[in-house]
Chain A
Amino acid sequence: MERHGRRFAGAMNMRRFFLIAVPYGWLLALFLVPFFIVFKISLSDLALAIPPYQPTMKDGIGQMLSAFDFENFVFLTTDDLYWKAYLSSLKIALISTVLALLVGYPMAYAMARAPEEWRPTLMMLVILPFWTSFLIRVYAWVGILSNEGFLNQFLLWTGIIDAPLTIMNTTTAVYIGIVYTYLPFMILPIYAALDRLDESLIEAAEDLGCSRTKAFWLVTIPLSRNGIIAGCFLVFIPALGEFVIPSLLGGSGTLMIGKVLFEEFFNNRDWPVASAVAVILLLILIVPIILFQRNQQRQAESET
């Protein structure tokens, strides 16, 4: 009997081990290991070979390790294309995040104040674009922003402008594209925070002599802080490495690091430099990612 029990426990452990090992192994092999490969190749040199870098494992481990150097990283600092691209990505991501907050907060606020029976529908209207193809949503703006596009046609027709505005292929188009595609990410966490907010707190503030506006700044905004932080990170982090929006709407005039990486890899076929660009981008992103996870953790703790 006891033997049977032990065998049963053994089977349980085997099953538990299997349950943990399969997803764990998958992520190790296809998520973590690839990063080390990127790091390894960022230390290699460009070569006219297949694959187009050297040294490789075939040269022997010792040989390979001794040939590694930080040449590509040094190259990134000397060629101003790269640090300009990093700075311009940071700037574009930051401005887009602020714009998305300015558009998203009033929407989330109005949703939380809407009649109860409307809220599920409003929620669905915010989520629906998220299920629609990202590429198509960005593409839709090409027809609007181009010189003979809908926006210029409309503005010319109303007489606000005499000559078409050039928006397409400028940074402005990129801001519009990022705010448009990531707006649901901003609205949803803020809405969740505002929805939980106890209305009687605002009423109390008003009873105690706060004006409507003052109560908003002193009560509503601080209490929705976690939602604002979460929304900002959810827009800022993906915007920083964005590739599709700057390529499609920004044209050659917009410098963003995701685009530089893509072009370095596919057009110049310089894998070591592309890898070095990726390593630096990752280092820049680690700070906001850690801050974001801390915010989420704090929020989860405050709920329990």
Chain B
Amino acid sequence: MKRASWFNVTSLTLGFAFLYLPMVLLVIYSFNSSKLVTVWAGFSTQWYGELMQNEAFLDAALVTLKVAIASSTLATILGTMAAYVLVRGGRFTGRTLFSGMIYAPLVMPEVITGLSLLLLFIGIGLDRGVLTIVLAHTTFSMCYVSVVVSSRLVSFDRSLEEAALDLGCSAFDAFRLVTLPIIAPAVISGWLLAFTLSLDDLVIASFTTGPSSTTLPIKIWSAVRLGVSPEINALSTLMIGIVTVGVISASLISKRNAVKAQQDMQAAERGAT
């Protein structure tokens, strides 16, 4: 059954062509010297030069980075706490509501989340700006973090924690010295997920931002509404490049760690016999 049938090969080829061709075209045409984006007129990097001169984009990129770093860090702390409570917290009043509030934001339409948060911020008289976007992003991305971390916590052998407690660790030390190192990969991927979600978000940021703080997606949105522009193609290429390098190196690192863990395991087994 494991041989490659023509049907499987065709569906994979067509499927991946569908997933990747649009991005490949975008990247190629960002090096087009013509202002007409769909007509090839020769290789040029002028749009990258113009992008670097565009201060509005650079400012927006800076705001976006600030928001993403702050919100993903906060979301990782809160999301890890929430995952710990969900998996290890036992029974407490309102547990069902709590787990409902963790899962609901994952499927909530962004327009509703954005609208409701904006109305809250106005209701309590909080000035809209970087702070309100950070609060909004933290709220939805902590739920993603907690889903990622709790799936790791579920599969994790609890007796290791109990052993640490029996050997005289305080509960906090047991968490810091035993639990945290084991769930660290999930915590890190949770942070990365929260970071990209924040970088990417247009709708919720549009609702919760103020006039002084424009994020990159908002800036891109107002530009692409007017049609295709070579500068946006150049910006998109940079963003696609960063993500690709990031994801590929992350997967290489985790693969190397897995191989190393396996070797350690084998060495330990050899030592034991």
Q: What distance in Å separates the Cβ of B65 from its nearest Cβ neighbour in chain A?
A: 14
Residue contact B240 to A107, C-beta cutoff 8 Å: no
Comparing A22-30, A67-75, A79-87, A155-163, the segment that makes contact with chain B is A22-30
Any chain B CB within 8 A of the CB of A146? yes
Residue contact A38 to B11, C-beta cutoff 8 Å: no
- Nearest to A153 among chain B residues (CB) is B38
Any chain B CB within 8 A of the CB of A271? yes
Q: Which of A12, A128, A131, A248 contacts B224 (CB 8 A)?
A: A248
Q: What distance in Å separates the Cβ of B173 from its nearest Cβ neighbour in chain A?
A: 12
- Nearest to A289 among chain B residues (CB) is B107
Q: What distance in Å separates the Cβ of B120 from its nearest Cβ neighbour in chain A?
A: 4
Residue contact B18 to A180, C-beta cutoff 8 Å: yes
Q: How many residues of A contact B (CB 8 A)?
A: 87
Residue contact A23 to B78, C-beta cutoff 8 Å: yes
Comparing B47-55, B177-185, B195-203, B259-267, the segment that makes contact with chain A is B195-203
> What are some 13 contacts across the A-B interface (CB < 8 A)?
A15-B171, A30-B138, A38-B115, A110-B9, A128-B247, A131-B196, A134-B200, A136-B220, A140-B22, A142-B227, A240-B109, A258-B111, A278-B116
- Per the bound structure, the CA–CA distance linking A134 and B197 in Å amounts to 9
Any chain A CB within 8 A of the CB of B103? yes
Any chain A CB within 8 A of the CB of B131? no
- If A31-B101, A110-B15 are given as contacts, then 20 extra A-B residue pairs at C-beta distance below 8 Å, sorted by A number, are A20-B98, A23-B82, A23-B142, A26-B138, A27-B101, A34-B119, A107-B11, A120-B255, A132-B240, A137-B22, A140-B23, A140-B26, A143-B228, A150-B38, A183-B19, A243-B111, A244-B221, A248-B224, A248-B225, A289-B107
Residue contact A139 to B236, C-beta cutoff 8 Å: yes
Bitwise interface map of B from 239 to 259 toward A, beta carbon under 8 Å scored 1, else 0: 110011011100100010000
Instruction: Write out the residue numbers on chain A whose beta carbons fall within 8 Å of the beta carbon of B136.
Output: 30
Residue contact B202 to A146, C-beta cutoff 8 Å: no
Interface range, B side? 35 or more
- Per the bound structure, the CA–CA distance linking A20 and B78 in Å amounts to 10
- Per the bound structure, the CA–CA distance linking A265 and B119 in Å amounts to 11
Q: Which of B15, B37, B112, B200 contacts A278 (CB 8 A)?
A: B112
Q: What distance in Å separates the Cβ of A246 from its nearest Cβ neighbour in chain B?
A: 11
B-contacting residues, A226-249, CB 8 Å? 233, 237-238, 240-244, 247-248
- Nearest to A183 among chain B residues (CB) is B19
Q: What distance in Å separates the Cβ of B105 from its nearest Cβ neighbour in chain A?
A: 6
Instruction: Write out the residue numbers on chain B whose beta carbons fall within 8 Å of the beta carbon of A261.
Output: 111-112, 115
- Per the bound structure, the CA–CA distance linking A105 and B89 in Å amounts to 38
Instruction: Write out the residue numbers on chain A whose beta carbons fall within 8 Å of the beta carbon of B240.
Output: 132-133, 136
Any chain A CB within 8 A of the CB of B271? no
Which of B29, B98, B107 is the most central at the interface, judged by chain A CB atoms within 10 Å of its CB? B107
Bitwise interface map of B from 83 to 118 toward A, beta carbon under 8 Å scored 1, else 0: 011000100101000100111110111111001110
Q: Which of A104, A199, A233, A243 contacts B1 (CB 8 A)?
A: A199
- Nearest to B251 among chain A residues (CB) is A124
Residue contact A275 to B115, C-beta cutoff 8 Å: yes
Instruction: Write out the residue numbers on chain A whose beta carbons fall within 8 Å of the beta carbon of B1.
Output: 113, 199, 202-203
Residue contact A20 to B85, C-beta cutoff 8 Å: yes
Instruction: Write out the residue numbers on chain B whose beta carbons fall within 8 Å of the beta carbon of A282.
Output: 112
Bitwise interface map of A from 125 to 154 toward B, beta carbon under 8 Å scored 1, else 0: 111110111111101111110101110010
Any chain B CB within 8 A of the CB of A115? yes
Q: What distance in Å separates the Cβ of A178 from its nearest Cβ neighbour in chain B?
A: 13
Instruction: Write out the residue numbers on chain B whose beta carbons fall within 8 Å of the beta carbon of A34.
Output: 116-117, 119-120
Given A26-B142, A35-B116; A128-B244 close (CB under 8 Å): yes
Any chain B CB within 8 A of the CB of A299? no
